[in-house]
Amino acid sequence: MAKLRFTFGTMGSGKSTQALQIHHNLRARGLTTLLMTQLDRREGRVSSRLGVSADAEIVEPSSDLFDLIRQRAKSLGHLNAVICDEVQFYQPAQCEQLARVVDELGVDVYTFGLLTTFQGVMFDGSARLMELADTRTEIQVEARCWCGARATHNARFVDGVQVISGATVVVGDTGGPTAGEVTYDLLCRRHWMEGAQAARGAQLELLDVDDARPGDHPDRSGPVEVDPDAVPTPLHATQNAGESP
* Catalytic residue positions, numbered: 86
Q: How far is CA 49 from the centre of its chain?
A: 21
Residue type, 125: G
* Cα dihedral 206→211→214→216 (10° resolution): 100
Q: What are phi and psi of 79, to 5 degrees?
A: -140, 125
Cα–Cα dist 137/113, whole Å: 11
CA distances from 167 to 54, 118, 212, 226 (A): 28, 10, 27, 47
Nearest partner of 7 among 121, 116, 87, judged by Cα: 87
Q: CB neighbours of 12 closer than 8 A, spacing ≥ 6?
A: 49, 143, 186
What's the CA dihedral at 49, 53, 59, 65 to 10 degrees? -120
3-state secondary structure of 213: coil
Length of the chain: 245
